[in-house]
Amino acid sequence: MDIISTAKAHGGVQGVYRHRSRTTDCDMTFAVFVPEHEAGEKLPVLWYLSGLTCTHQNAMDKGEYRRAAAEHGLIVVLPDTSPRGDHVPDEPDNWQFGSGAGFYVDATQEPYAENYRMYSYVTEELPAYLAVNFPADTSRMGLCGHSMGGHGALSIALKNPDLYRSASAFAPIVRPTVAGWSKPALEKYLGRDPRTHRAYDTCLLIEDGKRFAEFYVDQGTADQFLEDGLRPQLLRDACEKAGIPLTLNMREGYDHSYNFISTFMEDHVAYAAARLKA
């Protein structure tokens, strides 16, 4: 593991690291905040999954999670959003696909299947790597994410209810199989058969019988993508039909930016901490 940088913050350490991933067949960069703790102590983990065009850097610089994570004693991990490198296939002029837009899926279509395996990277390889290299208790993990990362957090939780104890999201894409900014990407990664897309659609996973204990979602009413791509009412309807408790906060006047996320980030950290430390 290469240590790119470390800095003290709120008594803990904010680090940025790089390692060679066997899952994505490229070097992957990720950020980890480890709060102050006793020697030998293992801490619960909150995963923050970023959205389209982002890296670990966006939330690390603008997410304002460290004070709350230090207060609650949580490790916060910020993976990248996709594989990167000269050998990784990409569409540089398309911000909705490829580098920066991995959608937390395991691609099955060439030429993307070899590298775009972000679902397995986030759920299998990186947690195992974290447990070896950091004081992380990977039996106590929660998920949080924004936009595409919100889709990742909710869909991953539904498919792995035994791995995660909490799941929350900021402005998640709840029906990526039909949203205009995500459906084309799923077709390139997974093929044109819509049946192969269902495993990465929160509402369809619920329709197909997947369950999670509860969800917590914040959504800005001034979000420019609210009606076209996000449509939180579809998640509300799916959860009501399935009996999944959902807290859906419609935040008046907030948009899709990190001004919105940073305002409510401490609520999401506290929500996760209450479930990871119970």
In the chain, what are the domains? 2-276 (3.40.50.1820)
Q: Give the pLDDT of residue 255.
A: 98
> Bridge-partner residues for 21, per DSSP?
26
Tokens of 94: 């398309």
Q: Give the pLDDT of residue 79.
A: 98
Q: Give the pLDDT of residue 180.
A: 85
Q: Give the pLDDT of residue 80.
A: 98
pTM over 0.95: yes
Residue 5 in this model has a pLDDT that exceeds 90? yes
At residue 63, the 3 state secondary structure works out as coil
Query: Residue 181 — very low, low, confident or very high, per pLDDT cuts 50/70/90?
Result: confident
Q: In whole angstroms, what is the distance from residue 264 CA to residue 37 CA?
A: 25
The answer to whether 112 and 19 have CB atoms below 8 angstroms apart is no
Residue 278 in this model has a pLDDT that exceeds 90? no
| Burial group, residue 203, by CB count within 10 angstroms (0-12, 13-18, 19+) | buried
Q: For residue range 117-148, what is the model confidence (pLDDT) as tens digits? A: 999 999 999 999 999 999 999 999 999 999 99
Q: Give the pLDDT of residue 11.
A: 98
Find how far residue 203's CA is from the centre of its chain.
Answer: 17
Q: For residue range 17-71, what is the model confidence (pLDDT) as tens digits? A: 999 999 999 999 999 999 999 999 999 999 999 999 999 999 999 999 999 999 9
Q: For residue range 239-265, what is the model confidence (pLDDT) as tens digits? A: 999 999 999 999 999 999 999 999 999
Catalytic residues: 147, 223, 256
> Please, what is the Cα angle at 145 between 98 and 229, to 5 degrees?
65
